[in-house]
Amino acid sequence: MRTAYSVETVRAAERELIARLPEGALMQRAAAGLAAVCAGLLRKVYGARVVLLVGPGDNGGDALYAGARLARRGAGVTAVAMDPERIHGGGLRALLAAGGRLADGVPARADLVLDGLVGIGGRGGLRPAAAALVERIPAGAVVVAVDLPSGVDADTGEVAGAAVRADVTVTFGAYKPGLLIDPGASRAGVVRLVDIGLSLPEPEAEALQDAEVAALLPVPTASSDKYRRGVVGVVAGSSQYPGAAVLAVSGALRGGAGAVRYVGPAADAVLARYPETLIGRGRVQAWVVGPGLGSGRAAEVAEVLADPVPVLVDADGLRGLDPEVLRGRPAPTLLTPHAGEAAALLGASRQEVEAARLTSVRALAVKYGAVALLKGSTTLVAAAGGPVRVNPTGTPWLATAGSGDVLSGLTGSLLAAGLDALDAASVGAYLHGLAARRAASGAPLLAQHIADSLPEAWRQHP
């Protein structure tokens, strides 16, 4: 599990550790780890051209001390201060003593640039002086961010204006949510964690890794039959959108339940593609409702919500949901909106949701008493309490018509197979993103390609 912690939590843990260490020891730990990563990125340290972009805070000090270590190994290290009057004194003395230098402007050439302009406490975008230095980063240099890219909000991943786009981010003590959640995550590049000995409580966010997903996948036993494995009902499709029903069923058939029951007007299309589908209402262990329903189907959504089993609501099923009805359900509800649908559910604008995805997914979970899966470049899953789950898999090629229908069917099947709503949503998003990566391989893909690649994604987790 990759866990991420808020700035407030990290700062408190740092203060506790600093009180038990000699003065400056924690910064030296961070600088040593930072220098080691930088040295590994350079083909050779001796003779390498290294530029430090230095702000007035502690991560400017981290950059200076790391630069001093590289200078002692023969690198040519140049520091450029955002505010020379407020540069970290001890770090600057160490750099100059090691043979580095302080310059007024950013050199035209560099092998590696260390971004130490703004630390994890930065908010509201870069100041003009910092933005001007970022604009002058030499082309072709490897950019390494200290703790997180300057201009990224550590707690949310929000980016207000200019921000550093790093190739590698070296973060200290713990991941920060902004390193896992877009748009910040897309600015961070490869994230390397340096352990500096922090003692941390419950995380703000977490990302399942292969081992956790493998442990959660439903696996039939010798005594299993199709009903013990679970039956998922799918209410989807319309005369206008019959393909949504086919795609939702395709995901559901590959989601771990023993059988899929389809209810709706697209039965002929579903059976033509998947003759193993059961048609018509009957007992199910979970429902999926919404993909391709079109308008005027609110009564069908209400009927599904009245069944005391887990229900996943997607797409057209999300229209006009009553929070009181959902909070009063005796069984779990899982909502799977994209940003526009989430905005309608929250009474906000799409831009507001996109700019504050972490806040938005939590607000959905609390308002509707449900687990919320917010689709997007970083898919987030939240319950009313506890850490937000951040999905680490996927590809930009997932932005294709019908991919959400496959995800709904897959995740609903996991609900029917016995996973709770938070785990079903997290595992569904993980497998969906992994299948899309395999299906795309750098080329455009169709939603059906994602469904067809799901068995291969499962086989990665025996």
Beta strands across the sheet bearing 286-289 = 2-4, 205-207, 388-390, 380-382, 371-374, 333-335, 311-313, 286-289, 231-235, 259-263, 278-279
CA distance 120 to 235: 46
Residue 226 marked in a binding site: no
Task: Find the length of the chain.
Answer: 462
Residue 105 marked in a binding site: no
Residue 184 marked in a binding site: no
Residue 91 marked in a binding site: no
Whole-angstrom CA distances from 459 to 7, 236, 249, 430, 462 are 38, 28, 20, 13, 5
What angle, 0 to 180 degrees and rounded to 10, lies between the N-to-C axes of helices 447-459 and 421-440?
110
Residue 393 marked in a binding site: no
Residue 225 marked in a binding site: no
Residue 121 marked in a binding site: yes
Residue 123 marked in a binding site: yes
Residue 119 marked in a binding site: yes
Residue 124 marked in a binding site: yes
Q: What angle do CA 90, 96, 97 make, to 5 degrees?
A: 85
Residue 340 marked in a binding site: no
Residue 61 marked in a binding site: yes
Residue 99 marked in a binding site: no
Residue 405 marked in a binding site: yes
Residue 120 marked in a binding site: yes
Q: Which residues pair with 77 in a beta bridge?
A: 50
Residues whose CB falls within 8 Å of the CB of residue 79, separated by 6 or more in sequence, listed in order? 51, 52, 54, 63, 64, 67, 87, 92, 95, 100, 101, 102, 103
CA distance 138 to 256: 51
Residue 125 marked in a binding site: yes
Residue 452 marked in a binding site: no
CA distance 185 to 192: 13
Q: Show binding-site residues for (6S)-NADPHX.
A: 58-62, 119-125, 147, 244, 292, 338, 405
Q: Show binding-site residues for AMP.
A: 375-379, 404
Q: Show binding-site residues.
A: 58-62, 115, 119-125, 147, 150, 244, 292, 338, 375-379, 404-405
Q: Show binding-site residues for K(+).
A: 59, 115, 150
